[in-house]
Amino acid sequence: MAFCTKQYLAFSLLLLTFSTSAHAQIPLWLVEQGISLQFSIPQIDAGELKKALQSDRRSQYIFFDTRLQEEFQTSHLPEAIQIDPEMEPEVFFKIYGHLLSDKEVIFYCSVGYRSSKFAETVSPAAEKRGAKSVSNLKGGIFRWYNAGYAVVDKNGITDAIHPYNEEWGSLIELRHPNLK
């Protein structure tokens, strides 16, 4: 769906207003909307993805986490592969290109910005290399976590989630009262 420049500018101003207000908290749905306006990469809903992963189609998916190593070590989606969000596409394909054939390739980060940017960059070449599709997880790991779906660390399931920073961390709905 195409949006005119006027709508994009109005949305950008709304985001700026939310992010600069000392007392306003930008809602995750608004961040998701902004990302979908900025990037053309398909966005897959966390609930839709969770349902697909519970079916016999599970093996058709491969996940790439485009957050920094520290964020990934705190928690990530099960079986995700961490990649540097600034990785050059040629390097990505050299290392991971052989894994993409006949796969639904899903990228994610905290809220979906870094992963949408990366996914949009590699999507055409990934599909030429046999990927069935390339998508971004709408709302990133924050939306996944807020929906109550499992995240893991090196020891298994965890309730920890890396906040990225204080502002973005306010979008996380903590599961345990002792988590900060």
CATH classification at residue 152? 3.40.250.10
Cα 74 to Cα 57: distance, rounded to the nearest angstrom: 27
Please report whether residue 152 resides in a domain. Answer: yes
Query: pTM value?
Result: 0.85
Please report whether residue 87 resides in a domain. Answer: yes
What 3-state class would DSSP assign to 155?
coil
pLDDT, averaged in runs of 10, over the chain (180 residues): 52 54 74 95 97 92 98 97 96 97 98 97 96 98 97 96 94 68
Q: Give the model's pLDDT for residue 13.
A: 52
Q: Give the model's pLDDT for residue 23.
A: 47
Please report whether residue 177 resides in a domain. Answer: no
**Residues linked to residue 134 through DSSP beta bridges, in sequence order:** 105
pLDDT tens for 10-49 read 556 555 555 554 445 789 999 999 999 999 999 999 999 9
Cα 139 to Cα 145: distance, rounded to the nearest angstrom: 10
Cα 26 to Cα 54: distance, rounded to the nearest angstrom: 32
Domain count, the chain: 1
Please report whether residue 124 resides in a domain. Answer: yes
Helix (H) or strand (E) holding 69: helix 69-74
Q: Give the model's pLDDT for residue 150.
A: 95
- Which domain, by its residues, includes 59? 41-169
